[in-house]
């Protein structure tokens, strides 16, 4: 391996060992690893082809994959070999591994789920492609300027992305705009704008390197790179205009994770990657089979939210306009290929596009959508409309064009049936199914938590990594003193490592014996970071009031980004930083309470924080968080959850046992009732002197003396439109936190509860989730040989 690295350094990167930077070493190592992946990868592709296997196509605007190098090393079983080789070359292995930039091609849960699914599909040996966009700039980088969020562009591609293979021969032309002509019965779309989608392939090899799938990301290029005529005339700007226009499409990831604002470029991105993916899979099918009517036997297309919902009309367009099928047959055929996952009930997140915009960008698709609508109304009179109030409703479109629709946790699926799609559910009572989310244990335990991983492997051997339910055997150790001690030791070493990193990056010293209480996720009102912060201020008050009490020392850790246009979320960030500054400077609570908010939370930061957490904050307003997946990562790594009955928290609590979970707050149906009570938030505030005091302090500028009015907006919101019931759940949350304090004092008991969490989380492996999709939605099986390990 050492020689391979030197060879790659020299012949692929053109560098001498003496002149090589950390980045050069990292790339050389990565290229050596990539070589080893290629054989399994190509072999898997060939096997899928000769067996004419059904392929799964996972269409997602986002793949939040993070760093790849450690995954690649451990999936190939090369951990020791890679370290030895690098050290023999006199280089720092950890520095090299940490040099890789995160591929942050996603906003949060939805994008990370897609990445976990790709890992599980490969591990299970299910032939699959992930299709998405190769954004030049991923999610913005976050910094804090005087406590406020500032954004700057992310630039992961400023260095070569070593894992990918550019496929200049994989090109599809994507049209926009123009008009539709008719010749006899046949319609032809004449776009007035074209871009080329070029594929870039990253191999995704599963656990132990037995099967490899492809993540194919599309980049937009101009049809004609350069207008020579304009150049010769001396008009240099015009010469490269078409290039700039085309490249805009894959330039940047939209940084919103909920609010849909109807931007034309976003619609173009959605159509661009969906159309390229559909053409790509159609070409593959026609080459392999040749019978267009056999498409559903060979193709399962999963739509990750409505972002690729234009796949329905696009597939119908190709079947009717290019292959000559009748409209009704085309719709039925397309539906048999398509399935749709819903990830949210928040009304502001449901995609709707003005018909006018649609007509301008995708005129033929709008006609087809009208036909889909007409067919649906003819068969089911009074069915909810796809076209409504002058908008194209992408949720209804996706539902009507899918043979299965799934929610992402039991509670969420139930609410999908009762709320957003109630009427469609009545018409199609077997279409909606549940597939509770999961996480890959390769990254979220084996990769990120070596201390705990080694302890588990010592006990169980290493087959748990691809069969996570085996962790249940650890339950027998819950009263085993020496095992509990080893479990505690693993957690403590992770906390020490995190403390060192926090001290370097934030300049705050932490006590590794304090309770590490962590809330990391996108900043959103419904996720209620604000409630966590109000509780922190209340705790600070009581600690100052009663300094002699035996307080459980706490470290409050926050991480997360706010969408740049989400004013309230940004105010919450500012308030957290303001409170942190005052509390961390207070000698009265030194050693007892610390607040840290390391900037630029991303996948790599999650991998540091989660293994070091004692308490996991999953405190969304019940009924609002579709599932959550961070909640699973924490519990798997031995943190206890403080949480509401929301999303997958419900199922986590069922698995780990109610005695090992800190439950508080209103239920989803109580939330609905409470909202109808006039003046509910003022009533809740009035009933809680503790909360009143905290709100008063913030209002008076206790934490922002240089700008005492800074947080008036937030406080006013809590009094008058506390949409997410922060005030109503506050007392219950505060009391439950104090219960957690007491339990934490008995560290052995805490550790035993934490162990019960780890041992009970096997069901939350994304391997189980993917097997559910394969069975209930895709009818896709793993080829025998790949599964026989
Ligand atoms: C939409 C339009 C324009 C720009 C961006 C968007 C958009 C992007 C991401 C909308 C929603 C997006 O993500 C939603 C999301 O991440 N949902 C989360 O999905 C997870 C996986 O199922 C769940 O665990 C979370 O509960 C859910 O919030």
* pLDDT digit string, tens, across residues 309-357: 999 999 999 999 999 999 999 999 999 999 999 999 998 888 999 999 9
Test site for ligand 1: of 112, 262, 626, most ligand atoms within 8 A of the Cβ: 626
Rounded CA separation 263/392 (Å): 14
Check residue 471 and report its DSSP letter: G
The encoded tokens of residue 720 equal 């008058």
- In this predicted structure, what is the pLDDT of residue 783? 61
Q: What are the residue ranges in the chain where pLDDT is below 50?
A: 784-789
For ligand 1, whether the C-beta of 260 sits within 6 Å is: yes
Check if the beta carbon of residue 56 is closer than 8 Å to that of residue 101: no
CATH top-level class of 441-764: alpha beta
The residue among 688, 664, 231, 752 whose CA lies nearest residue 487 is 752
Label the pairing between strands 640-643 and 662-663: parallel
Q: Where are the domains of the chain?
A: 51-67+102-437+771-787, 441-764
Supply the residue whose CA is at minimum distance from atom 24 of ligand 1: 628
Rounded CA separation 440/446 (Å): 9
The residue among 207, 130, 210 whose CA lies nearest residue 783 is 210
Task: Tell me the fold of 51-67+102-437+771-787.
Answer: Rossmann fold (3.40.50)
CA of 528 to the centre of ligand 1 (A): 17
The residue among 603, 625, 412, 644 whose CA lies nearest residue 520 is 603
For ligand 1, whether the C-beta of 408 sits within 6 Å is: yes
Rounded CA separation 554/535 (Å): 12
H/E element holding 752?
A: helix 747-760
Count CB neighbours of 255 within 10 A.
Answer: 19
Instruction: Classify the C-alpha dihedral 455-460-463-468 as positive or negative.
Output: negative
- In this predicted structure, what is the pLDDT of residue 784? 45
Q: What are phi and psi of 64, to 5 degrees?
A: -95, 80
CA of 526 to the centre of ligand 1 (A): 13
Could you check whether 51-67+102-437+771-787 and 441-764 share the same CATH topology?
Answer: yes
Test site for ligand 1: of 343, 434, 520, most ligand atoms within 8 A of the Cβ: 343
**Residue ranges of E strands in 119-210:** 128-133, 141-145, 148-152, 165-176, 179-183, 186-190, 193-205
Angle between helix 481-506 and helix 450-460 axes, rounded to 10 deg: 160
* Letter string b/e over residues 447-457, b meaning 16 or more CB atoms within 10 A of that residue's CB: bbbebbbebbe
For ligand 1, whether the C-beta of 343 sits within 6 Å is: yes
Check if the beta carbon of residue 760 is closer than 8 Å to that of residue 656: yes
Test site for ligand 1: of 108, 132, 346, most ligand atoms within 8 A of the Cβ: 108
CA of 165 to the centre of ligand 1 (A): 28
Give the residue numbers marked as catalytic.
Answer: 343, 521-522, 527, 629, 633
Q: Which residues contact 58 (CB under 8 A, 6 or more apart)?
A: 114, 117, 118, 121, 128, 129, 130, 131, 302, 304
Q: What is the pTM of this model?
A: 0.98
Atom of ligand 1 nearest to the CA of 112: 21
């Amino acid at each position: 391996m050492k020689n391979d690295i030197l060879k790659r350094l020299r012949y692929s990167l053109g560098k001498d060992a003496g002149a090589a930077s950390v980045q050069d070493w990292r790339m050389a190592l990565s290229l050596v690893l990539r070589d080893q992946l290629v054989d399994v990868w190509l072999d898997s592709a060939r096997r899928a082809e000769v067996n004419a296997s059904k392929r799964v196509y996972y269409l997602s605007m986002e793949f939040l994959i993070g760093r790849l190098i450690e995954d690649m090393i451990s999936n190939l079983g090369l951990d020791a070999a890679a370290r030895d080789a690098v050290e023999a070359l006199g280089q720092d292995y950890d520095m090299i591994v940490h040099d890789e930039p995160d591929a942050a091609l996603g906003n949060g849960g939805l994008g990370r789920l897609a990445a976990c699914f790709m890992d599980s599909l490969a591990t299970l040996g299910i032939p699959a492609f992930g299709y998405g966009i190769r954004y030049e700039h991923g999610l913005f980088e976050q910094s804090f300027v005087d406590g406020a969020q500032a954004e700057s562009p992310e630039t992961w591609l400023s260095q070569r992305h070593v894992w990918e293979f550019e496929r200049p021969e994989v090109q599809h032309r994507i049209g926009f705009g123009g008009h539709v002509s008719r010749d006899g019965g046949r319609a032809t779309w004449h776009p007035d704008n074209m871009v080329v989608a070029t594929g870039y392939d990253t191999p995704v090899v599963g656990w132990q390197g037995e099967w490899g799938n492809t993540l194919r990301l599309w980049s937009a290029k101009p049809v004609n790179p350069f207008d020579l005529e304009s150049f010769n005339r001396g008009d240099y700007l015009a010469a490269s205009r078409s290039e700039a226009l085309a490249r805009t499409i894959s330039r940047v990831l939209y940084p919103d994770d909920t609010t849909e604002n109807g931007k034309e470029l976003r619609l173009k991105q959605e159509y661009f990657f969906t159309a390229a993916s559909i053409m790509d899979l159609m070409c593959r099918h026609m080459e392999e089979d040749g019978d267009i009517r056999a498409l559903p036997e060979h193709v399962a297309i999963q739509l990750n939210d409505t972002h690729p919902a234009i796949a329905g009309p696009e597939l119908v367009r190709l079947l009717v306009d290019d292959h000559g099928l009748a409209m009704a047959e085309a719709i039925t055929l397309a539906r048999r290929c398509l399935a749709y996952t819903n990830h949210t009930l928040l009304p502001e997140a449901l995609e709707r596009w003005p018909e006018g915009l649609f007509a301008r960008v995708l005129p033929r698709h709008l006609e087809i959508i009208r036909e889909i609508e007409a067919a649906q109304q003819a068969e089911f009179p009074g069915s909810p409309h796809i076209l409504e109030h002058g908008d194209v409703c992408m949720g209804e479109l996706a539902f009507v064009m899918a043979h299965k629709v799934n929610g992402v946790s039991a509670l969420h699926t139930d609410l999908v049936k009762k709320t957003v799609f109630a009427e469609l559910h009545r018409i199609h009572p077997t279409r909606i199914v549940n597939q509770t989310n999961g996480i890959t244990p390769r990254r979220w335990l084996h990769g990120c938590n070596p201390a705990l991983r080694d302890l588990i492997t010592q006990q169980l051997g290493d087959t748990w990594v691809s069969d996570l339910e085996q962790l249940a055997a650890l339950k027998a150790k819950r009263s085993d003193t020496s095992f509990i001690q080893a479990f505690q030791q693993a957690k403590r070493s992770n906390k020490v490592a995190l403390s060192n990193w926090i001290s370097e990056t934030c300049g705050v010293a932490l006590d590794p014996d304090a309770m590490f209480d962590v809330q990391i996720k996108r900043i959103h009102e419904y996720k209620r970071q604000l409630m966590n912060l109000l509780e922190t201020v209340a705790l600070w008050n009581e600690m100052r009031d009663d300094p002699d009490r035996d307080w459980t020392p706490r470290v409050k850790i926050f991480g997360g980004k706010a969408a740049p246009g989400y004013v309230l979320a940004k105010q919450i960030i500012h308030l957290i930083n303001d409170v942190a500054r005052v509390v961390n400077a207070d000698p009265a609570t030194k050693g007892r309470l610390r607040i840290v908010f390391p900037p630029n939370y991303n996948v790599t930061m999650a991998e540091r924080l989660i293994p070091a957490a004692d308490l996991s904050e999953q405190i969304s307003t019940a009924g609002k968080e579709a599932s959550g997946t961070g909640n699973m990562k924490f519990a798997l790594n031995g943190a206890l959850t403080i949480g509401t009955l929301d999303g997958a928290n419900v199922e986590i609590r069922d698995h780990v046992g109610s005695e090992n979970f800190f439950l508080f707050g209103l239920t989803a149906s109580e939330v609905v009732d409470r909202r109808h009570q006039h003046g509910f938030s003022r009533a809740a505030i009035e009933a809680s002197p503790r909360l009143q005091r905290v709100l008063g302090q913030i209002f008076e500028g206790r934490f922002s003396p240089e700008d005492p009015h800074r947080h008036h907006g937030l406080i006013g919101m809590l009094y008058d439109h506390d949409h997410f019931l922060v005030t109503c759940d506050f007392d219950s949350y505060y009391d439950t936190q104090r219960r957690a304090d007491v339990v934490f004092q008995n560290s052995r008991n805490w550790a035993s509860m934490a162990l019960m969490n780890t041992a009970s989380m096997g069901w939350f492996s994304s391997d189980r989730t993917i097997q559910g999709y394969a069975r209930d939605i895709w009818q896709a099986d793993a080829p025998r040989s790949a599964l026989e390990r």
